[in-house]
Structure 1
Amino acid sequence: MDLDLPESALAVREGVAAVAAKYDHAYWSRCEEEHRFPQEVFDDLGAGGWFGLCVPEEYGGGGQGLLELAVANETLCASGGVAGTFFYVTTPGFGAMTLTRHGTEEQKQRILPGLAEGRVQFCFALTEPDAGSNAIEITTAARPDGDDFLVRGQKIWISNVENADWMVVVTRTTPAAEAKDELGSRTAGFTLFLVDVREAVAAGTLSYTPIPKMGSNILHSSQVFLDDVRVPSGNVIGEVDQGFSVLWDVLNPERILAASGGIGTADAALRIATDYAKERVVFGRPIGANQGLQFPLAQLKAKTELGRLMTYRAAWLFDQGRPCGNEANIAKLTGAQVGWEAANQAFQTLGGMAYSKEYPVERIFRDARIAKNIPVAEELILAHIGTQMLGLPRSY
């Protein structure tokens, strides 16, 4: 469907599609089978400046916004590389968006040019074993030590550590109980840091263990152990103890980019399903002529376009500096659901052949399912909609 996107976003779609066209489903499936990072795609996108879209021009980037970034991610996923959504969430999302809005001038000059050129990668460390969806309860602590901070704690399900140069780490510089008493709010006392991953690994203060998982094996998701990682005070993002406002400017773009990945996943799954339904002949006619198959696919096409509109709206609001939390949550909910539903219906359309690795449906099916749980479970989004938008009482 032709949406009224700005010329900048249309140019992004065309440019990323040209890169993605070099890498077919078989390429992505090989990377998944081999648990191999798709370095060739990453290098191609980096060389074209497609990771630096939202980096300001003075630091070598494209000077665009989250809308263009969401379109780039959607386009890559729609090409069949649905796990490639991590490319855009981890480095441009966690890295470029965060530093552009909240980084110091020194941080921007030091990091953004390399990111814009595709030479620098990021990861983001928030989730902890005992504080998954309840981020208020994280216990990873940063304590002052001279002009530095020492960071100690454990994170889990951290994606792309093995490739990352920098990790954005969410810590407590004031424990939750003390923050409520001394700073007036349990959401106070958070501080975000830039951790030099390679330096900390070499020093023996940061280690990680990959978690065996069902899909998206083109990069690891790991447990991360921080054992008094030394971080210069110049690597604080925003202000000490005031990191929660920075955190929301990380989480909302993450949700919007996750939504765009779900929409791209739905596009990829629907294309596979409809192509097969046109070609597969049973009882003398293409199976796509049977309304039992045609109607579910048509319904998912409608849901995909609605999800696309909400995703673009949420990204546009963010770029305008306007509140976008409700829209980001609805977009993420819708994108994840339609990505999974489309993958599931593609599986049903292909019948037994969907179970074969001859077709990419089984890979897309596995990759699409996790989106209903990350970066935030859909139950929490529904709770947000119920309490914040409908005014219903809280259950937690």
Structure 2
Amino acid sequence: MDFDLPESAIAVRDGVRAIAGRYDQAYWDRCDADKRWPEEVWRDLVEGGWTALAIPEEYGGGGQGLLELAVALESLAAGGAGGAASFLYLLTPAFGGLTIARHGTEEQRAEFLPRIAAGELDTCFAITEPDAGSNAINIATRAVRDGDHFVVHGQKIWISGVERADFMVLVTRTIPAAEARPRVSGFTVLLVDVKEAVADGTLTYRPIPKLGTNTVASSMVFLDGVRVPADRVLGEVDQGFAVLWDILNPERILAAAGGVGSGEMVLEVACAYARERAPFGRPIGANQAVAFPLARIKAQLELARLMTYKAAWLWDRQRPCGAEANIAKLTAAEAAWQAADRAFQTHGGMAYSLEYPVARFFRDARIAKNIPVAEELVLAHIAQHELGLPKSY
């Protein structure tokens, strides 16, 4: 067993860290406060080729894999971006680039991948609905064939990045859930031209006020007769569940990478404060009550990193990785949250001041325990599929 990162991943880590180092915590605080996409960072990443890592070389990408993409996300988060980093790598590099590279037709790859690699086209992903959150089987957004188009009606919620997306990777039902046999059949994944649908009034959206992660908006999306050409189906009609899992597993793996990087960054901030703060004549970090929780978080982050890399490695080899992706997401989210909580405690009363970035760490870390899948459902999946316990939901 070789636990050394490949040279490609080391180059990614160093290159992305160098970009992250150009932007301090005040920059990320301003982006969050202004609810502004970190455009400067995004352009630096695009120009360096760091967002096109997993796009095949023949389409202008780096020809690498999910492992390198996970390392890039982790490095950006650890370099200062924290929770904001996840969206920079999920929305377009993963939801658009990875999905089209693996499941797109030759025509779709030629149309979309070069533009994604060049930073000329942005994507978002839409699956969650008001009555179908964690239970994707019950989604009700319907796509009905009409000649050489599908006509889509439905509603989505918590769709991040739609306001800046050119195309949406949209999960629909072409067979209603009540009629589908088996229940996982009847899904069709479509590439929706967001700008066109907004212009003709068939797609509208409304941002949801959020506690944190405000560098990107998350919106309610309303689809009222959106017309999608039939040649923009990803995968096969009615058989989109296979495509869906090739979106959800990378999403969990990349979320885990973001958690590991965020946890490392927050831990670094907490330790720096613990080394400097000396109210009783010696640094508070010399006290085991402060030091031991921080040390435990470091151990948790290292374990989460190992599972994240393993899950990405498996996905790149098209091997089953559902358990590993879930475990990586579970452990990384918990470690990142513990890091934010201990950073808050280590800073004492000053953590409550918005002059310090700890409040942002706290807000951004908490949601990772709920998205992209709630930890309770991850535990239920592990209990059923890894331990052989009875199905609980």
| TM-score normalised over the length of structure 2 | 0.98
Check conservation: 2:21, 2:80, Cα contact below 8 A: no
| 1:23-102 → structure 2 map (5 Å cutoff) | 23-82=23-82, 83-102=84-103
Residue identity matched to 1:308: R
Provide, for residues 142-200 of structure 1, a one-character-per-residue CA deviation record: whole Å limited to 9, x for no partner.
Answer: 001111000110000000001111100000001112112xxxx0000000000011111
Provide, for residues 108-129 of structure 1, a one-character-per-residue CA deviation record: whole Å limited to 9, x for no partner.
Answer: 1111111111221110000000
Q: Distance in 2 between matches of 1:80 and 1:224?
A: 31
Quote the residue 1:315 is aligned against: 312
Q: Distance in 2 between matches of 1:179 and 1:292?
A: 56
1:81 deviation in Å?
Answer: 1.0
Check conservation: 1:73, 1:261, Cα contact below 8 A: yes
Q: Distance in 2 between matches of 1:129 and 1:204?
A: 21
| 1:110-259 → structure 2 map (5 Å cutoff) | 110-180=111-181, 185-259=182-256
RMSD: 0.9
Check conservation: 2:123, 2:165, Cα contact below 8 A: yes
| 1:226-375 → structure 2 map (5 Å cutoff) | 226-375=223-372
Q: Distance in 2 between matches of 1:27 and 1:357?
A: 14
1:4 deviation in Å?
Answer: 1.1
1:282 deviation in Å?
Answer: 2.0
Provide, for residues 85-119 of structure 1, a one-character-per-residue CA deviation record: whole Å limited to 9, x for no partner.
Answer: 11111111111110111001111111111111122
Check conservation: 2:186, 2:238, Cα contact below 8 A: yes
Q: Distance in 2 between matches of 1:23 and 1:85?
A: 16
Q: Distance in 2 between matches of 1:57 and 1:35?
A: 34
Residue identity matched to 1:283: F
Residue identity matched to 2:56: P
Check conservation: 2:125, 2:170, Cα contact below 8 A: yes
Q: Distance in 2 between matches of 1:84 and 1:302?
A: 22
Q: Distance in 2 between matches of 1:26 and 1:395?
A: 45
Q: Distance in 2 between matches of 1:353 and 1:177?
A: 54
Check conservation: 2:169, 2:189, Cα contact below 8 A: yes
SS at match of 1:301: helix
Residue identity matched to 1:205: T
Check conservation: 2:263, 2:339, Cα contact below 8 A: yes
Percent of aligned positions with the same letter in both sequences? 66
1:3 deviation in Å?
Answer: 5.7
Residue identity matched to 2:245: W
Which blocks of at least 5 consecutive residues in structure 1 are unaligned?
Answer: none
Q: Does 1:392 align with 2:393?
A: no
